[in-house]
């Protein structure tokens, strides 16, 4: 059946689509059976809009599916409409053209035979001669057929230039006019299609003969560089001098042309240039508007706070203390008072300093004052911990704002200025994780007069996304900020807490292994380190402490790469804990091979996924950071059933598994907002930019009961010494500080 072989693995096959086994209309993923000369092959891949009866020429690789055997994974393809009468009948009967079912298809083909598709395309009015087709229905059939043809043209035009998935995004964005638009300006691809790099658009433009110094090329490069900074480093802007230097290097063009491009884009308001002292900050327009909105809305919340009649704050706090049986210390009392007095206030502090006690007291006090309170956190695990510690149900910020995904995978929030939240106060925990876009969405949903209380640890890692909201708010001095410093008695005996504080102060914690919950175990090679990590998780910690190897012990790494990174450890630990066995089903995705029993993590919020618990509770939504296990793979329906650690059982389509990764080992960034009974931290050689104090501090503070650091003591010492924070280019601090009241 192979037509030719480009290399040992890559082959080309052709045939007629006999059966569509599975088709996802959103992402174009297809499983189909094709036939050529009496031979049949199962073909899988992104082939949007394919229908039975079509001819397909596919380039890709053969793989062996554990259950279904040999399959052909498509990398590139081309399609032709059927020419022979039986194939045309199969094509129309499949529902490919709206308005034509099997009965109508047979009537049309009986009348027009091999000319059927030409009639639909060129003379659709002739269809009204067929029984059951009115002139109006004939026009609708022709429109549907042309839409199919339009997508086919776009997909074929970008064959070899873009992957089928990206070509489908192009069609969804611009429809049939995509080709004409992109012939005029191919740089629209990197400007508006997520996943298309500037280099890819530039290569297409070069093939079209577009000059290296073309103005559209230079402006596209400038915007793409700002976009990269936003997504890779979380920078909201770049200083003009740095932008010009880096853009001229990337574009291999004169810096004066880049400056002219900046001026033109600024006139078009596609970028915004503002002065912060002696620095000219250059933003993408949407990011500048987000920071500007946050600064203005925060001022409104401060200016419009509703005064709370509280004749004796001390007595009211004493009532809460009696109820909880906990006596607040001075700074905690200040924090509670500020929550009553201020429109926006901030509480920050290391673990063990009583942030949770402050939250509980505020909730109790506001309850007696008849002020409705809402709790929220950036991640599902953080919201769950907030619920458990406060006694009041907490939601993720996304769920609180009723987020929904659009057809092009963009998030829309149903709660906004036109449909605000109806609470007197909103308390947000783990606020250091919030990026500028999520913070903007939250502020849009708050009515003037709503109190906003932000709780977090400013010494942890900044958010992965754009900006450093929590840090900027504190640094600006515009809001009352209470820094809790005292470690309370119940936490003083914990070496985890004391070591975290020592790390935060730049001191080396004790690593003589004489503690009961904080240990260091040296290893000199990557192989020795991996062996010890697996031994600890598999045998030693379960035996000594009774912890479950997978659900209660978590390996947390600074980096994905290297001998002590998540990639290497996930591969090794997976084979230890869940080896390949006869009868154990598995499947392949871009994120690797998954099999029944694997430990997994959700890496993106999905609010549509339905779940159910053993006690019959039902709901929707799985969240970034949720950890669980694959229970069952149903190969016939191409679905995966999995359960998260809070017993929520859910299922999803295999083609949607791109939002899930293995979780035997996870990065420090992915662990933020979560806590685990025992944390094992491998420290070995890793990129210099990740060897920072706040990286190791954040990792250590993920543990509830036990921390074991494995690796090189000199790496630990270097990380503690390196207090260089990732200073992002953000404007929120500058926008706020002019109004600073010095309230801290």
Helix (H) or strand (E) holding 110: helix 102-112
Query: Contact, 223 vs 265, CB < 8 A?
Result: yes
The C-alpha angle 715, 716, 720, rounded to 5 degrees, equals 115
At 67, the pLDDT band (50, 70, 90 cuts) reads low
DSSP 654: G
Residue 658 has pLDDT above 90, yes or no: no
- Per the prediction, the chain carries an average pLDDT of 86
Q: Which pLDDT score, from 0 to 100, does residue 44 have?
A: 87
Which one, of 615, 568, 578, 621, lies nearest residue 600 by Cα? 578
Residue given tokens 């890819």 in the structure block: 200
* Residue matched to tokens 């693995």: 9
Decide: 698 and 460 in contact? Cβ < 8 Å. yes
3-state secondary structure of 667: strand
Q: Is the alpha carbon torsion for 185, 190, 196, 197 positive or negative?
A: positive
* pTM reported for the whole predicted model: 0.76
Q: Which of 152-166, 188-202, 689-703 has the lowest mean pLDDT?
A: 152-166
CA distance 145 to 383: 49
Per residue in 566-617, pLDDT (tens digit) is: 999 999 999 999 998 888 888 877 777 899 999 999 887 676 678 887 877 7
Give Cα 716 to chain centroid, integer Å.
Answer: 29
Instruction: Report the pLDDT value the prediction gives residue 710, as an integer from 0 to 100.
Output: 95
Indicate if the pLDDT at residue 280 is higher than 60.
Answer: yes
CA distances from 466 to 233, 249, 265, 460, 626 (A): 8, 24, 22, 16, 22
Q: What percent of the chain has pLDDT over 90?
A: 42
pLDDT at 439 over 70: yes
Mean pLDDT of the region 79-97:
74
**pLDDT recorded at residue 9:** 67
CA distance 282 to 264: 13
User: For residue 452, which of 568, 353, 565, 374 has the smallest C-alpha distance?
Assistant: 374
pLDDT for position 103: 85
More confident residue, 425 or 306: 425
**Residue-level pLDDT at 274:** 95
Length of the chain: 744
Predicted confidence at residue 650, as pLDDT, reads: 87
Q: How far is CA 142 from each of CA 97, 98, 135, 314, rounded to the nearest angstrom?
A: 8, 9, 11, 77
Contact partners, residue 744, CB within 8 Å, separation at least 6: 474, 477, 480, 481, 483
Which residues lie below 8 Å from residue 510, measured CB to CB, with a gap of 6+?
Answer: 495, 499, 518
Mean pLDDT lowest for which of 134-143, 439-448, 675-684? Answer: 134-143
* 61-70, 592-601, 686-695, 713-722: least confidently modelled range: 61-70
pLDDT of residue 231: 82
Characterize the bridge pairing of strands 665-667 and 553-557.
Answer: parallel
pLDDT at residue 629, rounded to an integer: 93
The CB-side HSE value for 550 (13 A sphere, CA atoms) comes to: 20
Q: Which of 74, 100, 64 is nearest to 15 (CA)?
A: 74
Closest CA to 215 of 256, 172, 174: 256
Cα separation of 464 and 655, whole Å? 26
Tokens read off for 123 = 């003379």
Query: Quick one: pLDDT at residue 593?
Result: 85
How far apart are alpha carbons 735 and 139 in whole angstroms? 57
At 66, is the pLDDT very low, low, confident or very high (cuts 50, 70, 90)? low
Per residue in 69-86, pLDDT tens? Answer: 788 888 887 777 777 787
pLDDT computed for residue 537 by the predictor: 95
Q: Report the C-alpha gap between 413 and 256 in whole angstroms.
A: 41
Kindly state the DSSP code that residue 306 receives in the 8-state scheme: P
Backbone angles phi, psi at 376, to 5 degrees: -150, 160
Neighbours of 477 (CB within 10 A): 17
Instruction: State how far the Cα of 489 lies from the Cα of 12, in Å rounded to an integer.
Output: 70
How far CA 338 is from CA of 52, 335, 451, 597, in Å, comes to 67, 5, 11, 49
Residue 741 has pLDDT above 50, yes or no: no
Q: Cα-atom radius of gyration of the chain, to the nearest Å?
A: 30
Q: Residue 2's pLDDT is what? A: 38
- Alpha carbon distance 469, 453 (integer Å): 14
User: Alpha-carbon distance 135 to 114, whole Å?
Assistant: 22
Tokens of 216: 């559209």
Helix (H, G, I), strand (E, B) or coil at 46: strand
Structure-block tokens of residue 663: 């979780």
In three-state secondary structure terms, 201 is: helix
Do β-strands 586-589 and 592-595 pair in parallel, antiparallel, or remain unpaired? antiparallel
8 A C-beta contact, residue 453 and residue 403: no
The answer to whether the CB of 289 falls within 8 A of the CB of 325 is: no
330-341 vs 355-368: helix crossing angle, rounded to 10: 40
**C-alpha distances out from residue 282 to 226, 348, 378, Å:** 8, 31, 28
Q: What is the DSSP string of 172-185?
A: HHHGGGHHHHHHH-
Q: What is the pLDDT of residue 286?
A: 93
Residues 465 and 438: beta-carbon distance below 8 Å: yes
DSSP state of 463: P
As given in the structure block, the two tokens for residue 627 are: 């950890």
Q: How far apart are CA 432 and CA 244, in angstroms?
A: 31
Instruction: Enter the DSSP assignment of 422.
Output: -
In sequence order, which ranges of 345-480 are alpha helices (DSSP H)? 355-368, 380-390, 397-400, 436-444, 469-476
> Which phi and psi (to 5°) does residue 127 adopt?
-60, -25
Per-residue pLDDT tens digits for 475-533: 999 999 999 988 774 555 688 888 999 999 999 998 887 778 999 999 989 899 999 99
The secondary element (H helix, E strand) that includes residue 147 is helix 135-157
Residue 74: C-alpha distances to residues 37, 45, 63, 163, 258 (Å): 20, 5, 11, 10, 40
């Amino acid at each position: 059946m192979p037509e030719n072989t480009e290399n040992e693995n890559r082959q080309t096959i052709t045939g007629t689509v006999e059966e569509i086994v599975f088709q996802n209309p959103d992402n174009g993923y297809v499983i189909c059976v094709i036939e050529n000369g009496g031979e049949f092959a199962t073909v899988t891949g992104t082939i949007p809009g394919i229908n039975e009866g079509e001819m397909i020429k596919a380039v890709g690789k053969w793989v062996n599916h554990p259950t279904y055997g040999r399959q052909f994974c498509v990398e590139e393809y081309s399609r032709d409409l059927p020419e022979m009468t039986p194939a045309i009948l199969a094509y129309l009967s499949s529902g490919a053209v709206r308005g034509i079912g099997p009965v109508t298809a047979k009537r049309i083909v009986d009348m027009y035979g091999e000319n059927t598709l030409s009639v639909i395309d060129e003379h659709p009015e002739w269809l009204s001669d067929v029984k059951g087709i009115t002139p109006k229905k004939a026009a609708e059939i022709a429109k549907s057929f042309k839409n199919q043809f339009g997508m086919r043209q776009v997909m074929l035009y970008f064959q070899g230039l873009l992957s089928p998935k990206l070509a489908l995004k192009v069609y969804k964005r611009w429809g049939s006019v995509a080709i004409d638009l992109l012939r005029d300006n191919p740089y629209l691809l990197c400007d508006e299609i997520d996943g298309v790099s500037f280099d890819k658009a530039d290569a297409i433009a070069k093939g079209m003969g577009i000059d290296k110094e073309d103005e559209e090329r230079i402006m596209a490069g400038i915007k793409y560089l700002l976009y990269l900074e936003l997504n890779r480093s979380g920078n909201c802007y770049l200083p003009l001098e740095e932008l010009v230097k880096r853009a001229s290097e990337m574009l291999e063009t004169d810096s004066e042309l880049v400056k002219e491009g900046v001026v033109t884009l600024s006139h078009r308001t596609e970028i915004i240039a503002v002065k912060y002292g002696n620095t000219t900050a250059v933003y993408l327009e949407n990011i500048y508007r987000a920071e500007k909105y946050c600064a203005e809305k925060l001022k409104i919340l401060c200016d419009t706070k509703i005064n709370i009649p509280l004749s004796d704050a001390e007595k009211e706090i004493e009532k809460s203390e009696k109820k909880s049986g906990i006596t607040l210390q001075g700074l905690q009392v200040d924090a509670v008072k500020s929550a009553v007095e201020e429109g926006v206030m901030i509480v920050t502090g290391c673990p063990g300093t009583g942030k949770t006690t402050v939250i509980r007291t505020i909730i109790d006090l506001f309850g007696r004052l008849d002020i409705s309170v809402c709790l929220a956190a950036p991640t599902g695990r953080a919201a769950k911990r907030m619920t458990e510690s406060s006694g009041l149900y907490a939601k993720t910020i996304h769920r609180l704002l009723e987020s929904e995904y659009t057809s092009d995978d963009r998030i829309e929030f149903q709660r906004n200025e036109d449909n605000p939240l109806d609470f007197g106060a909103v308390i947000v925990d783990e606020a250091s994780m919030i990026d500028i876009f999520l913070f903007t969405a939250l502020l849009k949903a708050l009515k003037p007069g709503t109190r906003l209380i932000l709780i977090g640890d400013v010494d942890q890692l900044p958010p992965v996304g754009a900006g450093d909201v929590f840090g900027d708010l504190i640094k600006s001095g515009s809001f009352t900020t209470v820094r809790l410093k005292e470690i309370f008695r119940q936490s003083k005996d914990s070496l985890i807490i004391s070591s975290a504080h020592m790390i935060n102060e730049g001191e080396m914690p004790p690593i003589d292994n004489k503690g009961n919950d904080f240990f260091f175990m040296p290893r000199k090679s990557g192989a020795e380190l991996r062996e010890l990590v697996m031994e600890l998780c598999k045998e030693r910690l379960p035996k000594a402490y009774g912890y479950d190897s997978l659900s209660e012990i978590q390996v947390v790494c600074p980096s994905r790469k290297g001998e002590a990174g998540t990639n290497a450890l996930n591969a090794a630990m997976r084979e230890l804990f869940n080896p390949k066995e006869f009868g154990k089903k598995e499947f392949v995705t871009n994120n690797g091979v998954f099999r029944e029993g694997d430990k997994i993590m959700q890496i993106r919020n999905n609010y549509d996924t339905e779940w159910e618990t053993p006690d019959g509770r039902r709901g929707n939504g799985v969240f970034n950071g949720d950890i669980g296990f694959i229970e069952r793979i149903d190969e016939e329906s191409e679905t995966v059933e999995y359960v998260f650690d809070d017993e929520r059982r859910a299922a999803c389509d295999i083609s949607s598994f791109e939002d899930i990764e293995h979780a035997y080992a996870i990065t420090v960034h992915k662990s933020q907002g979560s806590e685990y009974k025992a944390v094992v931290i491998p420290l070995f050689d890793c990129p210099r930019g990740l060897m920072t104090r706040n990286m190791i501090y954040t990792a250590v503070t993920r543990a509830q009961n036990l921390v074991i650091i494995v690796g090189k003591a000199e790496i630990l010492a270097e990380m503690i010494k390196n207090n260089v924070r990732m200073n992002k280019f953000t404007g929120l601090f500058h926008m706020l500080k002019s109004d600073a009241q010095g309230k801290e």
